Every structure is written in C-alpha cells, then in structure tokens.
C-alpha cells in the first residue's frame, strides 16, 4: 500500500493558524484516530474537531477538512487539519501522527510529486507551483500562475502532437514500402517540421526573460572610488545596506540587494570603486567588481560629478551601449543638464539632494520591464531544464531534415518527440498508432 504522508503545510513558527496536510489511503483513519473516533466530516466541509492524544488528553481544538480521492490536490484521500499555530500544538500533533501505523512524514515536494504521478498536473505546472510559492514580485506571481494554469504545458504538448503526427505519417510509409510517399505528403511532413523548428527557435531566442524573471535581473553598479555608488545603492534600496564614507576604496565585497521595480525583481549589486589598487584586499575587491560587471544583465555606471568633465577610464572601458550612465554629485561640479559620456547620454544625479533620482528610477524600471516582459503573448521559457530539452529537440529536428534515409529521419524525429516529452513529463504510449489509425486508412 502507498504510504500515507503528512507534513505541516504552513511555515514553522508562531501563527494564528497552522495547517497539517495528510495524504494517502490512511488519511481518514488518521483523522479518526486523532479525534477519538468522532464521525468523519462531510467532504470539502470544514468541521470543528477536538484533537486528542493518549489517554484522551486534549491537544487542540481546530478544524478538519476532507478531500476524498480523486478530487484532491494529490489525487489521493487528503485531510487538512487547521490547528492553532504554536510549536507545542504542532509538535504534539506531528508526534501523534508519526506514532500511527502506515504514516510517515512527507519528503520535500512529495505532495506535489504525488499530484504529478496521479495526473493532476504536468512537470511544468509542478515547477510553476514552486515558483508561485517563491514569488516575491507581481510579475513573478503572474508568470508562475500562468504556467501553473498550463500555458507552457499546452504550448509544448501542442508542439509534441504536431511532431508525433509528422512522425506517424513518415512511419506509415516506412512500414508499408509498397506505398510510395506521395510528394504532397512528403512536403506536408517536412513543411510541418520546418514550421515547428522555427517556432521553437524563436521561443528559445527570448533573451532568457522567463528565466531572468524567476531569478531577478542582475544590475551591477560600477564606477570610480567615491563616486557615490554605495550611497546610490542605499538610496534605491531605501536602507543602509552598504557602508558609505568619504574614504576612497570603502567597498570591497559585492553587496547585493533585492528590489521590486514596478513589479519586476531586480538584484542590484554595489561593487568596489575601479582604480589601480595599491593593496591586495582592495585589488581583490576590484577583481570581483569587474567579474560582477561582466556577469550582470545591465551595468549602471556612476561617474563622479566633482571631477566633471573628466571621466574615469577604468569605468569607461566597462560601459557598453546597453549601460545606464549617471553623473553623481551634480550638486558639486559643473555638470550640465544633459551630459554625455563618450557620446552616450548620461543622467545628472545627486544622491545628496535627490536630484535625478526619480528619473533614474523611472529609466531603470522601464529598462527592466523591457528586458523581462518581452511584451509578447506567448508564455516564456522559465527554466534551464526546458531550454536544454528544447535545444536538443531542435538539434534532432535539424538532423532529421538533413537525413538521406526516411528511417534515419524518423529516428531523429523520435528523439525530438522524446526531448519535448521530457519537459512536461509525458511518457509515450501507443500514440503513434493512434495517430496512424485516425489519419490514414491503411489497408483501405
């Protein structure tokens, strides 16, 4: 018998309510045992229950909900206990459940895994559920909900269906060599494969926006020492995340802060000021600053307005045309209204007076939204796992198209189908035959 599993469904710690979830064939029995054999509540109706332990000692007064199989999250019998969220109550109830025969504590992700195994969701939906739980910003929440609703699963399954169909048509002619593959049928098969390849390529070529939206867009603040990089980080983060001082070379380690810019997640990094450092710790800091600047999705270059119109060469060498350039300390130097650095428009800024901060925030938000939203109606690829499988699929399709023999082409199409199926976790059954019999009248 499948073991019945249980675990707290709410985060640990003191809370008004804590929920314990039980899933498996013994879920109802477990509830009965906890409630001294009181009648089971009606399905999907909250009922007040008195939870008691050994010798009838009361442990808590709470609510119980039953979701009989298969209409439950996992597809199994599920019981939810809504208890008071204290450590003492939770520990007592967990101990009582552990003591019951056939019950054990769930492993991480095991409820969702059972939901997948019972056909309640595909792998992309299971992943989306994890993303929704981790979501910190509105855009992350929207992406996760959309994927949980099956947007990616539908896209990948539709592609897979089209591939299976092309493969079935090709195999039909391989299996029945007396039948010539009519040129029109051959064109249809390869036309469909070509169309699919193009759609997959454009889905892959999305600037990684779905994956970035999960992780946050990485922005590195770079600039010469004392330009006010840490001051700017603190102003954007609205807290004293990094140490600010008038000593050049204050920042050494990279300091990351997580920001929500217009609903989009951003990881903003403050870095060491760039210069020829005399001392080893500072030069290690500068090495880290350069490395971070290279890995970042976007560079925010801060020049020192007190030096204007001179600009720092070390920083300049890291500024590309996607970088956002600001000239800070505009309150000190003779910084013009619309400065240009190396021909690139820059924003005059003063973290001290607040000048330019709103404009900078607006520009940053627009840039981030542009990188992460993509503005397209199609759902975004969200994981490296999907990317790897899709790339494998596209490679197999390219090989199939180049193959001389139909048998070899069919083998590559089969590999392509398998690669796609891995994304959603679908296994192949006798689908090929189904399609053949639906679309062909073999034997006529």
Annotated binding site for GTP: 226-231, 245-251, 270-273, 328-331
Residues 207-246, one symbol each (x = binds ligand GTP by CB under 6 A, - = not), give ----------------x-xxxxxxx------------xxx
Q: b/e map of 193-232 (b: 16 or more CB within 10 Å)? A: beebbeebeebeebebbbbbbbebbbbbbbbbbbbbbbbb
Strands 217-222 and 264-270, bridge-based pairing: parallel
226 binding K ion? (CB under 5 A): yes
251 binding Mg ion? (CB under 5 A): yes
Q: By C-alpha distance, which of 354, 347, 416 is closest to 170?
A: 416
Residue 234 and residue 240 in contact, taking contact as beta carbons nearer than 8 Å: yes
- Whichever of 206 and 253 has its CB closer to ligand GTP, that residue is 253
Given Mg ion, K ion, ligand GTP, none, residue 352, with its beta carbon under 5 to 8 Å by kind, binds ligand GTP
- Whichever of 58 and 245 has its CB closer to K ion, that residue is 245
**Given the rule CB under 5 A, which of 48-56, 221-229, 304-312, 397-405 is the region that contacts Mg ion?**
221-229
Number of residues that bind K ion (CB under 5 A): 3
Smallest gap from residue 334 Cβ to ligand GTP (A): 14
Q: By C-alpha distance, which of 385, 7, 375 is closest to 206?
A: 375
Smallest gap from residue 256 Cβ to ligand GTP (A): 15
146 binding ligand GTP? (CB under 6 A): no
Smallest gap from residue 287 Cβ to ligand GTP (A): 14
Smallest gap from residue 315 Cβ to ligand GTP (A): 11
Distance CA 180, CA 172 (A): 10
271 binding Mg ion? (CB under 5 A): no
Distance CA 438, CA 193 (A): 20
**Given the rule CB under 5 A, which of 39-47, 50-58, 63-71, 223-231 is the region that contacts Mg ion?**
223-231
Residue 303 and residue 179 in contact, taking contact as beta carbons nearer than 8 Å: no
- Residue from 47, 267, 332, 415 touching ligand GTP (CB under 6 A): that is 332
SS (H, E, C) 143-155: HHHHHHCCHHHHH
Distance CA 231, CA 288 (A): 19
248 binding ligand GTP? (CB under 6 A): yes
- Whichever of 85 and 224 has its CB closer to K ion, that residue is 224
197 binding Mg ion? (CB under 5 A): no
Upper half-sphere CA count for residue 136 (Cβ side, 13 Å):
12
Smallest gap from residue 333 Cβ to K ion (A): 17
Tokens of 233: 């980080």
- Whichever of 248 and 366 has its CB closer to ligand GTP, that residue is 248
Which residues pair with residue 80 across a beta bridge? 21, 65
Distance CA 354, CA 237 (A): 14
Q: Which residues here bind ligand GTP, judged by CB under 6 A?
A: 223, 225-231, 244-246, 248-251, 272-273, 328-329, 331-332, 350-352
């Amino acid at each position: 018998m499948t073991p019945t599993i249980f675990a707290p469904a709410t985060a640990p710690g003191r809370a008004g309510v804590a929920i314990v979830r039980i899933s498996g064939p013994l879920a109802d029995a477990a509830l009965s045992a906890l409630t001294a054999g009181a009648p089971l509540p009606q399905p999907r109706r909250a009922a007040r229950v008195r939870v008691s332990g050994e010798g009838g000692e009361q442990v808590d007064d709470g609510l119980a909900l039953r979701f009989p199989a298969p209409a439950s999250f996992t597809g199994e019998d599920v019981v939810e206990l809504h208890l008071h969220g204290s450590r003492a109550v939770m520990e007592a109830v967990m101990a009582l459940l552990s003591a019951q025969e056939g019950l054990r504590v769930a492993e991480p992700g095991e409820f969702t895994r059972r939901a997948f195994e019972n056909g309640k969701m595909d792998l992309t939906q299971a992943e989306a559920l994890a993303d929704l739980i981790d979501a910190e910003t509105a855009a992350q929440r929207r992406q996760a909900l959309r994927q949980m609703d099956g947007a990616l699963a539908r896209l990948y399954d539709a592609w897979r269906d089209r591939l299976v169909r092309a493969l079935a048509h090709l195999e039909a002619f391989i299996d029945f060599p007396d039948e010539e593959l009519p040129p029109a049928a051959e064109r249809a098969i390869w036309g469909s494969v070509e169309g699919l390849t193009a759609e997959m390529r454009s889905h892959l070529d999305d600037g990684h926006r779905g994956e970035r939206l999960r992780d946050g867009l990485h922005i590195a603040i770079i600039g010469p020492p004392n330009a006010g990089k840490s001051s700017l980080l603190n102003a954007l983060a609205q807290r004293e995340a990094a140490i600010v001082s008038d000593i050049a070379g204050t920042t050494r380690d990279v300091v990351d802060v997580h920001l929500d810019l217009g609903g989009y997640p951003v990881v903003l990094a403050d870095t060491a000021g760039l210069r020829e450092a005399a001392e080893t710790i500072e030069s290690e800091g500068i090495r880290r600053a350069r490395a971070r600047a290279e890995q970042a999705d976007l560079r925010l270059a801060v020049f020192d307005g007190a030096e204007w119109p001179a600009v720092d060469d070390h920083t300049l060498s890291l500024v590309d045309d996607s970088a956002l350039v600001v000239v800070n300390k505009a309150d000190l130097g003779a910084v013009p209204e619309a400065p240009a650095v190396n021909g690139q428009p820059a924003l005059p800024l003063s973290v001290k007076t607040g000048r330019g901060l709103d404009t900078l925030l607006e520009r940053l938000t627009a840039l981030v939204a542009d990188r992460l939203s993509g503005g397209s109606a199609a759902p975004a690829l969200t994981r490296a796992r999907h990317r790897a499988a899709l790339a494998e699929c596209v490679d197999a399709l390219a090989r199939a198209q180049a193959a001389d023999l139909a048998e070899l082409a069919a083998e590559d199409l089969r590999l392509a189908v398998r690669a796609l199926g891995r994304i959603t976790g679908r296994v192949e059954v006798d689908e090929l035959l189904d399609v053949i019999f639906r679309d062909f009248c073999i034997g006529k």
